[in-house]
Structure 1
Amino acid sequence: MSLCRRFFPCHIKLPYSSHSFSAGNNYYLRKRRKWPLSPYKAKWQQTFTHQLAMQKLIESVNKYPKTHLLSILIDSFSAYQSNPTPNAYYFILKILTQNPSTWDQIPQVLDHIRKVENFETPEYIFTYLIKFYGVSKMNYLAVEMFFTMPAFRCNPSVKSLNALIWVLCNNNCDLRIVLQVLVKSQFMNIWVEESTLMILIRALCTLGKANNAVDLLHLMVDSGFNLDGNICSLILSTMAEVKECQGVDIWGVLEEMRKLGYSPKRVDLCNVMRFCVINGKGMDALEVLNKMKMSRMVPDIVCYNLALNGLILEGEYSKADELFDELLVLGLVPVVVTYNVYISGLCKQDKVHEALRMLRCMEDLGCKPEMNTYNTILEALCRSRTMLSTAKEVFGQMKLKGLQLSSHTYELVVNCMIRNGEVGEAYNLLHEMVGMGFVPRSITFDGLIHLLCQRGWCSEAMELLSVMVTMNVVPGVRSREALVEALSDSSKMRNKEMHK
């Protein structure tokens, strides 16, 4: 029995005759185009074909890495009767940018996309190339890539503009070029967003142009953008790090930010204090600390360390003592940096015994001294001719505690011994220093050779001279004159003995 008779009994009349199913007589099929799609034209089939072509492309690239990649791309997709996709071109461009020897193929691939393909090239391809040219220090190619995007049927947006601005600013490009790019981008219907202004502000801060960054911040607020607290903090932190900001009025910058509605945090005021310390304005740093307390901010030990360092650098030792007592009264626990700063102040006042007492207090309170702590005290001891024995004792403690001694530490003690005329100990310690792999400076060698020649130790002086030659240290005038004089004296003595 036929399929129709099984489902349609004989007494039921079918609405259409058998020949009415043809496409020419069926009004519904003819007018509504309800033909089933061919499986070879379905979207899933195209996706599957592209995946197969992409897999073949990856295998061919791995197998023949030094071949012309554009031809591999075309052959891989032609094998499946398909056109290359933007992702395939993106893959090829990423492979080409990884090896400098294949950079010359990039223009050929781009030219093929522009002239042969007709798809709308995704913007992420150009964003990647702009960043690549920027990292490779080829700013002119990055700019050219941005402005030729419309030729590739791609409308640039603020994403690619931000990538170009970021590249130019990171490469310390002339700001006039950046300004030209921004002006020309307006004719391409690209308008800057908050992210663009943030990139520019960061660049200005890095270049030390904090005042210009604040002007741009004004423009940002006037244009209707929200005030970003991170940008304000960035401006203050950059001013505290960049040396070119020494002539900037940081108080004026902070006041301008407050007018815009920004309320500085403790970390921001710490950056203001750091700026004051760098520029030798310790009293200003103390003033910032007092304003923090007046505004009911609780300063931490970092704030006190900055103010303490600023006062000591400016020579305000009495105020530094008061500040150190204050932080102890408030219950703040001094850290190594605190002790190092305070001990350096004591050593600058030649209060070495108090510095040694503070060193012992550190150890009693469980704060382990570091190399900077010992070197500061050692320098103060070596400056005084009467405290060489104490310097030797501190140097011995450093050895016993297993501290990683530096060349500077050795030279401090050796030069102190030379000044005090202890030629034997200085000679032995210099050999120990050389044995540790350190290279003494020429002035240290010269001082010891001169002293050895004065004491008549010419053989030891000649030995040190050979050590200098071995270590590529050029002898100074002092050591050469001392050796010449010592050798001439010894020759005169030999002549006198021969005449006798």
Structure 2
Amino acid sequence: MLKSLAHCIRTQIPISVTFFFRSSSSSSYRSKYHNYYLRKRRKWPHPVYKARWHEKLSQQHAMQALRHQASSSPINLLSSLVESFALYNCDPTPNSYHFVIKTLIKTSQSHHISSVLNHLEKFEQFETPESILIDLIEFHGVRNEFQKAIEIFFRSPNFRCTPTVDSLNCLISVLCTRKEGLEIVPQVLLKSRLMNIRLEESSFAIFIRALCRYRKPKSAIGLLHHMFDHNFDIDGRSFSLILLTLCQQNDLECDEVMGLLEELKKLGFRLDRTDWGNVIRFLVKKKKGVESLEALSKMKLDGFKPDVICYTMVMDAVISAGDYESADQVFDEMLVMGLDPDINTYNVYMIGLCKQNKFDDGIKLLSSMEELGCKPNMISYNALLSAIYESGELGMAGYFLKRVRGKGAILMSETYEKIIYRLVRAGYVSDALDLLEEMMHKSLVPQPSTLEGIVSSLCQNGSVPKELNLLTDA
């Protein structure tokens, strides 16, 4: 019987050892041979889970030794890696190589990375995680080492790593940071096809961001057409970025931008609140008051409530176009919508009142602003004061100037120029000189035309020598 059992053990035939010992009649006999075969001379291997646990523990100890070596003397880390894992009789892990590479970068020893990669390629057997190579591509990209980044990507199979669209997108992002890198992208894409890597929506989003960064929104729209034709899903953020880039172009006419916007809509673009704000800002910049008012109406039809900024921009556009009635309607609508005008809104509306010579309404508006808790600023006072002087109503202008001074408002250089010009034209040269002296005391430099006007008026009055010192200082 014992010979039969030994033969089964040697040949690894699964038998019920427990059944054999239970069938024995002698307990001493069972105890004796149970200990003999199961403790002293067993020949079957340790369970797999014990081997894996032991290996993992050894790798942890080796990693701790490597970290200690790197913190104490971060020199020749590759040798430290090999020695640390050899000491605990285990193989290096991907994390250990990742740690070494990051430490070399952190300690400005990036010139040793190539030797680490060579060792990883030749002497290791594990599949290198793609994240390690992505970090290396990003590192070389920051240093504008495009050829090294490309080499890492195409060398991926040598590290037993199957590159995916993630590493390709990383390389594309790196190359698109500079124009010289952008020129290499087509070659990279051609070679990547041989690696069976298919571009995804995320890849096109990178290209669109790069084209918008280099102010080529029309080329970006061409990419959108390509995505649409090949049934790619288009991210709304790409649409918004292209629209923003279009609105920031100074060399595009209004009709061209609006035509391209309609083209984007045909591809599935739906404007949100921010997009409508960019369109309105563009139309205001192009001084298209009617079009900006229409854009505001379409924004509301799309279900978006305009904010104070949108209303202010549209009101500024229609005032610039001389449509003061529409400006009043926009201002009233904003109040009906429950929006509180800010200081910029009040200043735009103030300018509209000044253009209509409604100075009394402008002064009342200043009082209303104070009552509503929106304190007028320097622009508010200067705009109204300049407009009153330019109108030639010097009596009202003098009264309002005293009020402005009483409020402690600071006059701008442009305001001084306009007041002095009107005072000289009206023959109040002495008052103009007083303002000129005040202007110079505040370190404001008058325009040559202002000085010429004063000198001309003084020459006509024959009082140049008396005021020569002040004009010389100016």
When normalised by structure 2's length, the TM-score is 0.74
Q: CA 1:247–1:158 in 2, change beyond 3 Å: closer, same or farther?
A: farther
Q: Establish whether residue 86 from structure 1 lines up as the match of residue 100 from structure 2.
A: no
Determine whether 1:17 maps to 2:2: yes
Match of 2:208 among 197, 201, 206: 201
Q: Give the counterpart of 1:58 among 40, 44, 67.
A: 67
* 1:152-196 CA-partner distances (Å, limit 9, x unpaired): 332211001111222233445564333332233212211111111
1:320 matched residue in structure 2: 327
Pick aligned residue for 1:226 from 208, 225, 233:
233
Structure 2 unaligned spans of 5+: 16-41, 424-430, 456-463
Query: 1:27 and 1:158, CA in 2 relative to 1: closer, same or farther beyond 3 A?
Result: closer
Cα distance in 2 for partners of 1:118, 1:382 equals 86
What does the per-residue CA deviation read over 1:370-401, in whole Å, with 9 as the maximum and x for residues that have no partner? Answer: 555456456657878944674464355246xx
Give the 5 Å matches for 1:38-49.
42-49=51-58
Amino acid in structure 2 at the alignment position of 1:76: S
Q: Would the aligned equivalents of 2:280 and 2:313 in 1 still touch at CA under 8 Å?
A: yes
Q: 388-397 or 204-213, which moves further after superposition?
A: 388-397
Counterpart residue type for residue 351 of structure 2: S
- 1:394 partnered with 2:404: yes
1:212 aligns with 2:197: no
**Aligned twin of 2:111:** 104
2:261 pairs with one of 240, 251, 254? 254
Q: Evaluate the alpha carbon distance shift between residue 334 and residue 62 of structure 1 in structure 2; reply closer, same or farther with a 3 A threshold.
A: same
Structure 1 unaligned segments of length 5 or more: list them.
1-15, 400-404, 435-439, 462-478, 487-500
Match of 1:283 among 275, 280, 290: 290
AA in 1 matched with 2:6? F
Aligned residue for 1:236? 243
Give the Å deviation of 1:124: 0.5
Show the 5 A alignment for 1:360-379: 360-370=367-377, 372-374=379-381, 376-377=383-384
Deviation, structure 1 residue 89: 1.6
Three-state SS of the structure 2 residue aligned to 1:208 is: coil
Contact 1:414 1:430 (C-alpha < 8 Å) held by counterparts: no
Aligned amino acid, residue 214 of structure 1? I
Which residue is 2:36 aligned to?
none
Shift, 1:26, TM fit: 4.1
- In the other structure, the counterpart of 2:428 is none
SS in 2 for 1:36: coil
The aligned runs of 1:135-174 (5 Å cut-off) are: 135-171=142-178
Distance 1:157 1:268 in 2: 34
Aligned residue runs from structure 1 range 99-498, under 5 A: 99=107, 101-171=108-178, 175-243=182-250, 249-293=256-300, 298-329=305-336, 332-347=339-354, 354-370=361-377, 372-374=379-381, 376-377=383-384, 386=394, 387=397, 390-391=400-401, 393-394=403-404, 396-398=406-408, 411=413, 482=472
Question: 1:4 is matched with which residue?
Answer: none
**Contact preservation (8 Å) 1:277, 1:285:** yes
Q: In the TM superposition, what whole-angstrom CA distance separates every residue of 1:394-449 from its partner, at most 9, and x where no partner exists?
A: 355246xxxxx7xxx66456767876666667656755x57xxxxx66979x97xx
Q: CA deviation at 1:87?
A: 1.1
Cα distance change of structure 1 residues 340 and 64 upon mapping to structure 2, 3 Å threshold: farther
Distance 1:331 1:276, change over 3 A: same
What is the SS of the residue equivalent to 2:196? Answer: coil
Letter in 1 for 2:279: V
The alpha carbon displacement at 1:319 in A equals 3.4
Distance in 2 (CA, whole Å) between partners of 1:379 and 1:68 is: 74
Q: 1:248 to 1:425 in 2, by over 3 A?
A: closer
Equivalence map 1:22-37=2 (5 Å): 25-28=10-13, 35-37=44-46
- 3-state DSSP of counterpart to 1:28: coil
Partner letter of residue 58 of structure 1?
Answer: R
> Given that residues 311 and 319 in structure 1 are in contact (C-alpha distance below 8 angstroms), is that contact kept between their aligned partners in structure 2?
yes
The number of equivalent residue pairs is 427
CA contact (8 A) 1:417 1:423 kept: no
SS at match of 1:156: coil
Q: In 2, Cα distance between the equivalents of 1:454 and 1:355? A: 41
One-letter amino acid matched to 1:397: K
Paired residues of 2:439 and 2:445 also in contact (CA < 8 A): no
Distance 1:87 1:395, change over 3 A: farther
Give the whole-Å Cα distance in 1 for the aligned partners of 2:145 and 2:172.
14
Amino acid at match of 2:100: I
Identity %: 40
1:272 offset after TM fit, Å?
1.9
Q: Which has the larger displacement, 409-418 or 84-93?
A: 409-418
Normalising to structure 1: TM-score of the pair? 0.71
Displacement, 1:52? 1.2
Q: Secondary structure at the match of 1:82?
A: coil
User: Secondary structure of 1:240's match?
Assistant: helix
Q: In the superposition, relative to structure 1, how do residues 457 and 261 fare at CA in structure 2: closer, same or farther (>3 Å)?
A: closer
**3-state SS of the aligned residue for 2:407?**
helix
Give 1:76 deviation, angstroms: 2.6
CA shift in 2, pair 1:382/1:52, >3 Å: farther
1:357 maps to a residue whose letter is: K
**CA spacing shift, 1:296–1:163, aligned 2, 3 Å:** closer
**Cα deviation code 1:430-486 (max 9, x no counterpart):** 55x57xxxxx66979x97xx99x975686xx8xxxxxxxxxxxxxxxxx9xx47xx9
Structure 2 distance, partners of 1:53, 1:127, is: 25
Task: Give the counterpart letter for 1:339 in structure 2.
Answer: Y
Kindly provide the amino acid, as one letter, of the partner of residue 189 in structure 1. Answer: N
Q: Is the 8 A contact 1:39 1:45 kept in 2?
A: no
Q: 1:57 to 1:285 in 2, by over 3 A?
A: same
